[in-house]
A and B are shown apart, each in its own frame.
Chain A
Amino acid sequence: MHAHMSRHINWPLWSGFALSIAAFLSYFFFFVRFPITRDVPWATLILFAIAIVLLVIGLRKTVGRRIVAWIVTILGIGICAFFCAAVFIGSRQLPASEHAPGIGATAPGFVLLDTNRRPVALSQLLAEPGSKGVILIFYRGYW
């Protein structure tokens, strides 16, 4: 029996929740820069695992009204689920590109503007002295 009910913070619950948010953000702001933690986001998944453990510990040690603890726990798990969906499903939704030039095919020529608005042709890139070839890198864009 407590002599007084001190208002104490459920550290595992709130740190677990904060960690789940931090884990999510850490992927997009940090881990995404390194192929080793981007391609298979193991570092982020470990952080999420720790966050979920903390949330569950926090949930179990809650006295009195547990509704807040339940909401926080479900939100934390939800963030993890959203991350997994984005990273394991979302980024794989790509068109089939069946007619992309294959090995042995002639690469379609092009003339496109560079960052100084000067036209650059594939033929011109390939004709440069000392050139063995080019690596064309198609990317989604800067956004």
Chain B
Amino acid sequence: MAKTHVTMKVNGASVEALVEPRTLLIHFLREQLNLTGPHIGCDTSHCGACTVDLDGKSVKSCTVFAVQADGGEVMTIEGIAAADGTQCGFCTPGMITRAYRLLKENPKPSEDEIRHGIAGNLCRCTGYQNIVKAIEFAAAKLSGATAREAAE
């Protein structure tokens, strides 16, 4: 199949590559760029294991073509550092990438807002309770840091 030239920023670095028009962003990231942090769990955009940040929005990269990200900015778990609350670790990268964007959109979410905010990301191990706590903790830490910076 004829290939298309794409350029984009991934975790701050410029990349360019040839991809088939049908290549999914998740396969492009994992197989061409070797960014194996985001995972594939369901193929139908239900589980969120493949969640990445595209131009300031959370997307499920199993349902985005690489060509749709042409000229865009992508961030994966490899571009973020974060907290705990994991068991098998398979949902974790997508979950953290989603939480990162959620906290940008809403720096002080209520528990209910967190639960709705991560409803596109499935976890089979933890029952979510400690993930929700970790996001609450991150929110408190981030807003604390912001408050301190403002005071300085």
Judge: A and B partners, yes or no: no
Using CB atoms and an 8 Å cutoff, list the residues of chain B in contact with chain A.
none
Using CB atoms and an 8 Å cutoff, list the residues of chain A in contact with chain B.
none
